[in-house]
């Protein structure tokens, strides 16, 4: 774990991006823009070295299978239970959910957020959706965040300990929950990493800095 000096805005932190499948490079660039040192994670030693982790978009069933192949699944579950800050986008939201609807055969999640998600809720890729989201927790009154939903999940149900950060306001999915936080875990249905807007990643970097500061105080 990184406990080294202070960087801009708080403790210096190392954030990993799970690099088994999905849009890894986009997350790396967004996190670096947000002020973090970034490593890609494929092995146990790399997982053990990070202060926070991003679970990227991709194919959730494939990522679930590869977590087992690379023998990371149990270790990652344990680190989440121990309080590792984790941000999951799209497939990453599915992985962080405690419950999944319409999952693949034998598909399991890592869990941690008391939500039920519906996999591929928006339908096929041609049914993708875009919407501007206020996301006040992230924007602090600034411009809305562009939400791009590609074969994305949405949250069917959230427990009382889950903070709902954004819901859709238009279209056939109006009212559906698409961004949540529970403690040190953050999840979005959409892909901020592909828009060039790094505010969601900056918000997560601050979550990780707060976690490191609390641990090393």
Among all residues, which ones are annotated catalytic? 90, 191, 193
Task: Give Cβ neighbours of residue 50 (< 8 Å, ≥ 6 apart).
Answer: 1, 2, 14, 15, 16, 39, 41, 84
Residue 49 · residue 39 · CB < 8 Å? yes
Distance CA 197, CA 57 (A): 16
Residue 199 · residue 7 · CB < 8 Å? no
Count Cβ atoms below 10 Å from residue 205 Cβ, excluding itself.
29
């Amino acid at each position: 774990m990184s406990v080294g000096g202070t960087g801009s805005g708080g403790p210096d932190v190392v954030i990993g991006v799970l690099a088994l499948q999905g849009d890894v490079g986009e997350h790396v660039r967004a996190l670096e823009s947000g002020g973090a040192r970034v490593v890609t994670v494929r092995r146990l030693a790399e997982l053990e070295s990070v202060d926070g982790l991003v679970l990227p978009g991709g194919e959730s069933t494939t990522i679930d299978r590869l977590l087992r192949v690379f023998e990371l699944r149990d270790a990652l579950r344990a680190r989440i239970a121990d309080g590792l800050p984790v941000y999951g986008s799209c497939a990453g939201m599915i992985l962080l959910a405690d419950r999944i609807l319409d999952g693949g055969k034998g598909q399991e999640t890592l869990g941690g957020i008391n939500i039920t998600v519906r996999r591929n809720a928006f339908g096929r890729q041609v049914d993708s959706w875009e919407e501007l989201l206020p996301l006040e927790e992230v924007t602090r009154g600034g411009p809305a965040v562009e939400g791009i939903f590609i074969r994305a999940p949405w949250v069917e149900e959230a427990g009382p300990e889950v903070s709902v950060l954004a819901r859709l306001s238009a279209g056939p999915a109006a009212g559906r929950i698409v961004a949540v936080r529970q403690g040190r875990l953050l999840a979005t249905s959409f892909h901020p990493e592909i828009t060039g807007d790094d505010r969601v990643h900056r918000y997560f970097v601050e979550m990780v800095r707060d976690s490191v500061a609390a641990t090393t105080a």
